[in-house]
């Protein structure tokens, strides 16, 4: 696959990722009785929240402020939810698949973006995980709900696992492209397997 094709593929997954992230926010906003504006903000925050937090911490301009794809995809997602409202529930498997690809891509993007700076190894992993998973936390805070990913399924943990694998590949001499692909593969496979076999992270026991 030529470099050009990879770049095109990244642009497409990025857009689809933003789209399904926004849809998850907009659907939850709709079920809370939000209006169109509220739904837009929650959808947008879900799509760009993780990357924005990452970019603020890195001290760089948040990516949505220079690239129009995130605003456009959120508007498209809003129209999509309004039009296909009754059929959305039948698309959950499709959403799951694209959400997982988006998660994987945002993880790799977060890691590679952070590698451009001189931070210790846990920072790129944290930034990759944030880029992938923090949007969902911000969505839930805006909905005044306990963040879903703190209680359910393997989600952010797949990003952390992918991040660790990235650094193992790197230390074995792989280049960033290969490490990135392996990392993304690990995120996708570990999330899919976790959901398929009902694997989740142990809960902490309550004190009483």
Chain residues that interact with its own copies, rule: CB under 8 A: 26-27, 29-39, 41-42, 52, 56-57, 59, 61-62, 65-66, 68, 71, 81-82, 85-86, 88-89, 119-120, 122-123, 137, 140-147, 149-151, 156-157, 160, 200-207
Burial class of residue 57 (count of CB atoms within 10 Å of its CB; 0-12, 13-18, 19+) = middle
Nearer to its own copies, 67 or 176 (CB): 67
∠ at Cα 168 (164, 169), nearest 5°? 115
∠ at Cα 110 (108, 112), nearest 5°? 65
Nearer to its own copies, 60 or 177 (CB): 60
Least separation in angstroms between residue 71's CB and its own copies is 6
Nearer to its own copies, 159 or 184 (CB): 159
Q: Is the CB of residue 62 less than 8 Å from the CB of residue 56?
A: yes
Least separation in angstroms between residue 88's CB and its own copies is 6
Cβ-based neighbours of 150, under 8 Å, separated by 6 or more:
137
Least separation in angstroms between residue 2's CB and its own copies is 30
Least separation in angstroms between residue 192's CB and its own copies is 18
77/16 Cα distance (integer angstroms): 10
Least separation in angstroms between residue 176's CB and its own copies is 21
Least separation in angstroms between residue 4's CB and its own copies is 25
Nearer to its own copies, 164 or 178 (CB): 164
Nearer to its own copies, 174 or 200 (CB): 200
Nearer to its own copies, 71 or 164 (CB): 71
Residue 66 φ/ψ, nearest 5 degrees: -125, -15
Distance in angstroms between the alpha carbons of the first and the last residue of the chain: 57
**Residue 84, CA distances (Å) to 23, 50, 90, 205 in order:** 11, 27, 10, 41
């Amino acid at each position: 696959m030529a470099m050009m094709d990879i770049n095109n593929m990244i642009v497409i997954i990025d857009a689809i990722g933003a789209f399904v992230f926004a849809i998850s926010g907009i659907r939850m906003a709709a079920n809370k009785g939000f209006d169109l504006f509220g739904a837009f903000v929650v959808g947008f925050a879900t799509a760009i929240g993780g990357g924005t937090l990452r970019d603020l911490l890195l001290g760089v301009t948040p990516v949505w402020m220079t690239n129009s794809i995130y605003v456009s995809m959120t508007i498209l997602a809003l129209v999509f939810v309004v039009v296909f409202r009754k059929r959305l529930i039948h698309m959950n498997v499709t959403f799951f698949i694209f959400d997982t690809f988006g998660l994987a891509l945002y993880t790799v993007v977060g890691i590679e973006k952070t590698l451009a700076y001189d931070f210790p190894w846990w920072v790129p992993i944290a930034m990759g995980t944030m880029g992938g998973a923090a949007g969902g936390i911000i969505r839930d805070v805006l909905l005044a709900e306990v963040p879903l990913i703190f209680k359910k399924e393997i989600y952010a943990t797949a990003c952390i696992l992918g991040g660790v694998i990235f650094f193992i590949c790197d230390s074995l001499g792989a280049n960033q492209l290969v490490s990135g692909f392996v990392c993304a593969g690990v995120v996708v496979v570990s999330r899919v397997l976790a959901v398929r076999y009902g694997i989740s992270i142990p809960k902490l026991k309550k004190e009483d």
